[in-house]
Structure 1
Amino acid sequence: QLFPHSVRGPTLVDVNLNIRSMGPISEMDMAYQMDCYFRQQWTDRRLQFNGNETLRVSINVLERLWKPDTHVFNGRQSYLHVVTSPNKLLRIDPDGSVLYSMRLTIKASCPMHLEKFPMDTQTCPLILGSHGYTLSDVVYRWMYGDNKSVKMAPDMTLSQFDLVGIKEGQDNKTIQFKGVFSMLWVHFRLRRHMGYFLINVYVPCGLLVVLSWVGFWINREATSDRIALGITNVLTMAFLGIDNRRDLPKVSYSTALDYFVGMCFAFILATILQFAMVHFFTKVGSGESLPHESEEEDDDEDTKQRMKVCSLF
């Protein structure tokens, strides 16, 4: 398990990713998950042997060999598949080249900006590097096979997003009190599907606004009917506004969906205010007595009746 020192410089580790599936992608946790084959290849000259064929070695030999301590810098919960046995593969070439492959499920953080939600495009990073070996010991590189270092399964589909682009590269990361480390990064560019929100939010909110217009054709004397219709629309709109925020983190800014729901709420509230204004001004303009005026007239009639009764006695 000793480090394979090289007189020519640090050990070069080539990395390749073959992604089988991706998801779920959670806005609440600001994280995403993917299932992939993670392959690493390096050369250890101590393992050279005479021959022409590649050795297919049992994974039990891994305990006796040196291997990179690669980890995910922005990882949260990653695990190795072990059913029905640990999903690992080890191959050694005659020149000492080692191929180490394993199947992993990686959960990594993905900072999201939701100002344009649900018409947004997110970029989720994956950052790989050594945990203990600095740049002078280990250097990571992307292993390009068929002109791609990060491959996606041809039948992979996402329920919430479309994968519109993948960009990879390598860089150095300085960690305080530890040194400079070689790292690899890949950015997955994801565009959100609009169908779910169109069916469950945009169309119902639009229909509620249209339904509020029905009150314009109801007789102004049917006060209870118009108020009941308006209040029902307001309460339904408030429920939709609260429900669409349930699956989102409690961010301090408003999303595009919040603005749309707020605008629909304002239109529905305006129909109630319009009815109140029309009802008030048509009462005054038509010469109808206001409630306090009618009460005064009733008091005058009662007074006159009492005076007539007194005069009879």
Structure 2
Amino acid sequence: MKRFQLWLTVSLLTKFETGSGVSLKQSSRAPQMNNHQNISSLLDNLLRGYDNSVRPDFGGPPAVVEVDIMVRSMGPISEVDMTYSMDCYFRQSWVDRRLAFPGDTNDTLALSISMLARIWKPDTYFYNGKQSYLHTITTPNKFVRLYQDGRVLYSSRLTIKAGCPMNLEDFPMDIQRCPLKFGSFGYTAQDVLYRWNAARQVAIAEDMKLSQFDLIATPAANHTDTIVNSDTKSAEYSMLLVSFHLQRHMGNFLIQVYGPCVLLVVLSWVSFWLNREATADRVSLGITTVLTMTFLGLEARTDLPKVPYPTALDFFVFLSFSFIFATIIQFAVVHYFTKYGSGECYFSSDFSSDSSSDEEDWIESRENAPKEVSHSPVCKSSNYGSSNGGDPHFIEVIPLSACSIPVASMRRTSQPWSNLSCINRSQDDKNYHASPNKSTGSQKSPCQSQKHRKKKKKRTPRFNSVSKIDRASRVVFPVLFVTINLFYWYSYLSRTKRIVNLNVS
């Protein structure tokens, strides 16, 4: 009996607990089902009789569309195509009172993107856009919010590629202004007006960085365009305009163009310190720098469009090329005045009291040489010191073709060419050669009258002779290049207001 009573009590308790659990689950699901039913019925009531082809307040004041943009990234920016790209969140907001619903003012309905096909939305297009698209991975990146007063917020993630007309006269110290212009494609200003959101117009992500530019400003403004339609009737369209002010980085161009150009110009000045008789060395150095400068100038314009005007970089390349070319022209002038007998001092004579054995051997060989005066170099003491401004320490050298040098005697005596010395001859020397048979013992050689005087004189040639033009060029070329560079950099930096921006920052 007791066992039966215990079993009955346990069974009753089990049934009671099971019944209460079912009732609790049903009570918790009831509000959720009621909310779903309420929202569905609310949307059905809002869209009942709704025509999405008619704008809000049709027949009344124009619908106002507020727009704001959140820029996530920018680039690439192409100078060849004159375009730029950017990734942004494009948000549009408008009021459609047909979608207002009763409730708290803070109530917001997050709707599915399928609702966009059932409600009216502005036909916004980008006036200077070239290739824009909506991100669709993993789903179309857009959403819709519906507020209690009928305001609709429509946001989408877009990648916009738009045209940017660039003025490259100050390249690479330029500041470009790339506009983004958008508005309604079909509605005139009487139907739809575009306005920037007062709270936020154009926002830039804090972590956004550009490789070639710095974004220094984003001014935005409302704009109204008057467009002539195909029926020759003009209509005003409301549009919004934002300009992205981009300041180009100069570091890449300083490393790849400006630095090598300056080094090439300085390298061409090395020829001023080379021996002016080293024709092959100076010409090869000049030609090498010219060819390198030509290649560097062509490479600098690879990423630029073929504009009809010169850029700042073109001016600098042309300036460097001109200095290198002027170096070659300078050597041509120096080489012209380096000819024998041109008037410049080619050798210097240093006379010392100590006699040289080489000089004595040279004099003895001159005494033992054949007495045919017409076949020996002629020295004229009357012209010594007079043809060179009266300076007895300098001797002017004339071409060896002006002296008759006996080759056979040179082979017999085996005297080096450096021991031969020719001094300018006067008209008397020519007369002397014209009558060689009349020479007496005292007229063996015009040099014998000076033998004792020149016996203790030593002739020292200076092989690394320096031209006066080279000495002047060592100073004129660097000073002129630095002066032009200072004027170049100051004019372009102040023109592009980079100096002002640097002082402000």
- Normalization by structure 1: what TM-score? 0.90
Counterpart for residue 173 of structure 1: 225
CA distances 1:171-216 after superposition (whole Å, capped 9, x unpaired): 1111112621000000111111110000000110000001001111
Counterpart for residue 244 of structure 1: 300
Q: 1:269 aligns with which of 307, 310, 325?
A: 325
After superposition, residues 4-153 of structure 1 pair within 5 angstroms as 4-6=55-57, 8-52=60-104, 53-145=107-199, 148-153=200-205
The alpha-carbon deviation at position 8 of structure 1 amounts to 4.3
Counterpart for residue 154 of structure 1: 206
Counterpart for residue 54 of structure 2: 3
Q: Which has the higher helix share?
A: 2
Letter in 2 for 1:109: G
SS at match of 1:50: coil
Q: Bigger CA drift: 94-103 or 51-60?
A: 51-60
Counterpart for residue 310 of structure 1: none
Asked if structure 1 preserves the Cα contact closer than 8 Å seen for 2:56 and 2:95, the reply is: no
The alpha-carbon deviation at position 220 of structure 1 amounts to 1.7
Letter in 2 for 1:102: S
CA distances 1:256-284 after superposition (whole Å, capped 9, x unpaired): 11010101001111111111110111114
Asked if structure 2 preserves the Cα contact closer than 8 Å seen for 1:167 and 1:186, the reply is: yes
Letter in 1 for 2:190: S
SS at match of 1:77: coil
Alpha-carbon RMSD across the aligned residues, in angstroms, is 1.7
The alpha-carbon deviation at position 297 of structure 1 amounts to 9.5
Letter in 2 for 1:96: G
Counterpart for residue 444 of structure 2: none
* Structure 1 residue ranges (4+ consecutive) displaced by more than 3 angstroms after TM superposition: 286-289
Letter in 2 for 1:143: N
- In structure 1, distance between residues paired with 2:133 and 2:56: 29
Q: 1:161 to 1:58 in 2, by over 3 A?
A: same
- In structure 2, distance between residues paired with 1:130 and 1:252: 36
Does residue 1:203 correspond to 2:256, yes or no? Answer: no
The alpha-carbon deviation at position 144 of structure 1 amounts to 2.4
The alpha-carbon deviation at position 106 of structure 1 amounts to 0.4
Counterpart for residue 214 of structure 1: 270
- In structure 1, distance between residues paired with 2:306 and 2:312: 15
After superposition, residues 296-307 of structure 1 pair within 5 angstroms as none
The alpha-carbon deviation at position 3 of structure 1 amounts to 1.8
The alpha-carbon deviation at position 224 of structure 1 amounts to 1.1
Counterpart for residue 304 of structure 1: none
Q: Which has the higher strand share?
A: 1
CA distances 1:227-262 after superposition (whole Å, capped 9, x unpaired): 111100000000011011110000000001101010
Counterpart for residue 283 of structure 1: 339
The alpha-carbon deviation at position 45 of structure 1 amounts to 1.3
Letter in 1 for 2:251: G
CA distances 1:104-143 after superposition (whole Å, capped 9, x unpaired): 0001111111111111111110001000011111000001
Asked if structure 2 preserves the Cα contact closer than 8 Å seen for 1:4 and 1:45, the reply is: no
- In structure 1, distance between residues paired with 2:96 and 2:241: 25
SS at match of 1:65: coil
Letter in 2 for 1:154: E
Larger radius of gyration: 2
Asked if structure 1 preserves the Cα contact closer than 8 Å seen for 2:74 and 2:210, the reply is: yes
Letter in 1 for 2:94: W
Letter in 2 for 1:105: T
Counterpart for residue 225 of structure 1: 281
Counterpart for residue 244 of structure 2: 188
The alpha-carbon deviation at position 28 of structure 1 amounts to 0.6
SS at match of 2:338: helix
- Normalization by structure 2: what TM-score? 0.56
